[in-house]
Amino acid sequence: MIQDLIEKSKKHLWLPFTQMKDYDTNPLIIESGNGIKVKDINGKEYYDGFSSVWLNVHGHRKKELDDAIKRQLEKIAHSTLLGMTNVPATELAEKLIEISPEKLTRVFYSDSGAEAMEIALKMAFQYWKNIGKPEKQKFISMRNGYHGDTIGAVSVGSIELFHHVYGALMFESFKAPVPYVYRSLSGDKAQCRDECLKALEQLLIENHQEIAALSIESMVQGASGMIVMPEGFFAGVRELCTKYDVLMIVDEVATGFGRTGKMFACEHESVQPDLMAAGKGITGGYLPIAVTFTTEEIYSAFYDDYEKLKTFFHGHSYTGNQLGCAVAIENLSLFESEKIVEMVAEKAEDLYLLLNSLQSLPHVGDIRQLGFMCGVELVRSKETKEPFPAEKRVGYHVSLKMRELGMLTRPLGDVIAFMPPLASNREELEAMVAIMKEAICEVTNVEL
């Protein structure tokens, strides 16, 4: 039976972001989960060290979440949001607006973070047309940014590898630098921040008349290696957007819902986005719901008689799905009753100390963390910061070793991403960091 399933998976499946040749040598099929662990079909257990790719909040099989779905299922699983709404989608909208930055008053649902970003881009683009400034059609995006894998989202992303493969399909955008302190010449946070802000301002001075919006991840660039922005940078970007009349699209897909120790990471610098995309943790990691938030000002620019053609022409089959919205509502109740955000902020300090124990390893170049969003950058030489040769795939081999030792994660190049479920307790965090340490030592041939 087990072998049979594995054969089937190799025969018929094509997995996302996976070289299937790698999968064929290292197949893995998850069967169940409980708390912050998942179990495969052989009965082997793993810590969910990456929250099932940055989603999970309360652990798996959280009773309250399971029950919320069952209760909703007694009523209806899904009906459309085109031209009408449903009960949980409506209730959830109010709750989302309550917890989001105050300027945001409207939510537009979709099913994934990439879609939430596409929607933000299209809204920003059409907003200027609708208010009679059609010359504002271009975007500024950030170097090393990541916003998902659909064409629009990749266009404003800037992971080199993706552009190398799909570049010809993309629309162009202006690229602005984001401080990567560890790899900057000076290594000085303030200097690095000021240089990047200066470059952005120059870009805006020259081009703002044709720029609709700037897109940026909130406080941390996740997929490019958990690069945490130095203090003041994010707020500085907000100021420049305002000064040059450019909308600010903030991507909170990874950072939203408590991940960084605030409900939304933009709260760290009191930034009010014009558009904000969220997803991932919104349902506690249960079902595919995503959301684009916007301001009343932008919403009003679309509100008119139909003949004016100001309607936002966008929607998906499963938009506003009741099961997803019902579990999202329960998720937000748990955030309140279990004080998840406060707990993350508190436990992040323990986590900081735990991760610090890796600092002395000879191939650990940099450790970055904001709340429960962490990355450990491995390098060949600590002194020169020289990376390992890419073809060695050190990050990949470390994550395979971690899997063997009982913990799942996915590397970002040679950055080991550590994104435990927000409910992880101290002992669990300790056990996971110990596995990470052992795997790094084994793969880089260092005595523990």
- Contact between 402 and 443 under an 8 Å Cβ cutoff? The reply is no
Applying CB under 6 A, which of residues 86, 112, 130, 399 lies at the interface with ligand PLP? 112
Q: In the complex with ligand PLP, which residue's Cβ is closer, 287 or 439?
A: 287
φ, ψ dihedrals at 67, nearest 5°? -65, -35
Q: Is 113 annotated as a binding residue?
A: yes
* Shortest Å, Cβ 290 to ligand PLP: 6
Helix (H, G, I), strand (E, B) or coil at 188: coil
The DSSP secondary-structure symbol of 361 reads S
Question: Residue 251 or 330: which CB sits closer to ligand PLP?
Answer: 251
Q: Please report whether residue 148 would count as binding ligand PLP according to CB under 6 A.
A: yes
Among 96, 216, 254, 301, binds ligand PLP (CB under 6 A): 254
Residue from 50, 108, 146, 388 touching ligand PLP (CB under 6 A): that is 146
Buried residues in 118-130 as b, exposed as e (16+ CB within 10 A): bbbbebbbbbbbb
E-assigned strand segments in 332-424:
364-370, 373-378, 407-408, 411-412, 415-418
Helices (runs of H) and strands (runs of E) counted in the chain:
15, 17
> Is residue 147 near ligand PLP by the rule CB under 6 A?
yes
Q: What span, in angstroms and rounded, lies between the C-alpha atoms of 159 and 240?
A: 24
Binding residue per annotation — 317? yes
- 320 touches ligand PLP (CB under 6 A): no
410 labelled binding-site residue = yes
Contact stretch for ligand PLP (CB under 6 A) within 58-66, 86-94, 102-110, 248-256: 248-256
Write down the least CB distance from residue 148 to ligand PLP, Å: 3
Least Cβ distance, residue 117 to ligand PLP (angstroms): 6
Q: Report the residue number, 53 or 431, with the smaller CB distance to ligand PLP.
A: 53
Nearer to ligand PLP by Cβ, of 417 and 440: the residue is 417
In the bound state, the residue with its beta carbon closest to ligand PLP is 113
> Which value, in Å, is the radius of gyration of the alpha carbons in the chain?
22
Nearer CB in complex with ligand PLP: 327/435: 327
Q: Which amino acid is at 373?
A: M
The response to whether 146 counts as a known ligand-binding position is yes
Would you count residue 113 as binding ligand PLP (CB under 6 A)? yes
Query: For ligand PLP, how many residues bind (rule: CB under 6 A)?
Result: 14
Residue type, 44: K
Tokens representing 390? 């890419």
| Residues 188, 180 contacting (CB under 8 angstroms) | no
CB of 223 to ligand PLP, least distance (A): 6
Q: Is 330 in the site for ligand PLP (CB under 6 A)?
A: no
Strands (DSSP E) found in 252-360: 275-278, 290-295
Is the Cβ–Cβ distance between 32 and 42 less than 8 Å?
A: no
**Residues contacting residue 82 through CB under 8 Å, at least 6 positions apart:** 315, 319
- Quote the least distance from Cβ 370 to ligand PLP, whole Å: 13
Task: Report if residue 214 touches ligand PLP, rule: CB under 6 A.
Answer: no
Q: Is 371 in the site for ligand PLP (CB under 6 A)?
A: no
Per-position x/- string for 216-235, each x denoting binding to ligand PLP as judged by CB under 6 A, each - no binding: -x----xx------------
Q: How far is the CB of 381 from ligand PLP (least distance, A)?
A: 30
366 binds ligand PLP (CB under 6 A): no
Kindly state whether residue 324 participates in binding ligand PLP, applying the rule CB under 6 A.
Answer: no
Can you tell me which of 114, 176, 203, 402 binds ligand PLP, judged by CB under 6 A?
A: 114
Return the range that interacts with ligand PLP (CB under 6 A); candidates 121-129, 176-184, 215-223, 388-396. Answer: 215-223
Whether the CB-CB separation of 99 and 340 falls below 8 Å is answered with no
Which residue carries 């408590």 as its tokens?
258
At its nearest, how many Å lie between ligand PLP and the CB of residue 285? 11
Please tell me whether residue 341 adopts helix, strand or coil conformation.
helix
Packing angle between helix 87-99 and helix 322-337, nearest 10 degrees?
Answer: 40
User: Which residue, 255 or 399, has its beta carbon nearer to ligand PLP?
Assistant: 255
Supply the DSSP symbol for 57. S
HSE-up of residue 285 (Cα within 13 Å, Cβ side): 25
Question: What are residue 348's phi and psi, to 5 degrees?
Answer: -60, -30
The continuous run of DSSP H or E covering 21 comes out as: helix 20-25
| Residues near 247 by beta carbon (within 8 Å), at least 6 away in sequence | 124, 127, 212, 213, 214, 241, 274, 275, 298
Q: How far is CA 33 from CA 2, 41, 285, 428, in A?
A: 18, 11, 12, 15
Residues that bind ligand PLP (CB under 6 A): 112-114, 117, 146-148, 217, 222-223, 251, 253-254, 279
* Residue numbers belonging to the annotated binding site for pyridoxal 5'-phosphate: 113-114, 251, 316-317
* Residue numbers belonging to the annotated binding site: 113-114, 146, 251, 280, 315-317, 410
* Residue numbers belonging to the annotated binding site for substrate: 146, 280, 315, 410
